[in-house]
Amino acid sequence: MTSLEYISQCYRNYRSSRIDDNISPNDAMFNEWYFSVGESAIDNIALAALASRLSCVERVLDLPCGHGRVLRHITKFFPEATIYACDLDVDGVRFCEKTFGAMPIPSLPKLENVVFPCTFDVIWVGSLFTHMRRETIKRSLLYLSRYLSPCGIIVATIHGRWVEHAYEICRYIGEDRWKKIMDEYRSGGYGYCDYIKEESHAYIEHSYGVSIIRHAHQPR
C-alpha cells in the first residue's frame, strides 16, 4: 500500500468515526476551538505523513497529551495503532489512559530524563515548542529523534507570524514581555520570554513561556 493509499484510508476511517466528546473537568485547554484544533492537528499529521511517504503507523506518541484535545482524534485516525500519552500533568495522562485507552507515560520537567518504552512512527508535539527557549527545543528535538522508527516523523507546532496578529485578540503574556519577544523576533528571527506564574496553568520556572519563530530560523 502506498503512502497516499494508506493516508486516504486513514481519512476515510476518521471522517466516518465519532470523536469522543468526553471532556475532563480539569481540562484547562477546553474552549470553543477545542475540537477544531484536534481536526487541524490531524490535517498536519496527514500532510507530514504523505510528504515522508509513511505507509504504516503502529505507534504514536502525543506529547504533551493534556486531557486528549488531539489524542482523541489520533485514536480515530490511526485506529490500529498503539497511542502513548505523555505529559507533566499526571491527571491528563490518567484521563487519556482511562478514556481513550492510551498507554501512559508521565513526563519530567527535563524531557531528556524521560525514558520512552519504544520507538514511534509518529511523534506529535502540539503546543510545547511554542512555549520553549530555542536551546531547549533543539535538545528536545535531538532527544525525541532517537525514539523514531526508521521511517518515523516528528510533527510539531510553533508560533509564526500569525501570532503577532493574534496577540491583539488574545493577550496571553504581559505587554512588557511581549515587547521583548517581538524585539528579539524582529531583530534575530526568534523571540522568547518566560511566563510569570499568574499567566500559566502549567508553570515551570525559567523554562516555560512564549516563543515566536521566523520560518528561516526554525531550530534544526
pLDDT bracket for residue 203 (50, 70, 90): very low
Q: Mean pLDDT, the chain, as a whole number?
A: 92
CA distance 31 to 38: 12
Of 41-45, 56-60, 126-130, 160-164, the one with minimum mean pLDDT is: 160-164
For the chain, domains (ranges, CATH) are: 3-17+31-156 (3.40.50.150), 162-217 (no CATH)
What angle in degrees, to the nearest 10, is found between the helix axes of 34-51 and 3-15? 160
Average pLDDT rounded to a whole number, residues 102-126: 96
Q: What is the pLDDT of residue 60?
A: 98
- Give the position of cell 478514556: 99
CA distance 207 to 4: 39
8 Å CB contact between 57 and 83: no
pLDDT bracket for residue 208 (50, 70, 90): confident
Q: Tell me: pLDDT of 188 over 60.
A: yes
Q: What is the pLDDT of residue 197?
A: 76
Which tops the pLDDT comparison, 49 or 196?
49
Q: Tell me: pLDDT of 150 over 90.
A: yes
Q: What is the pLDDT of residue 169?
A: 85
Q: What is the pLDDT of residue 217?
A: 58
Enter the pTM of the model: 0.92
CA distance 164 to 154: 25
pLDDT bracket for residue 202 (50, 70, 90): low
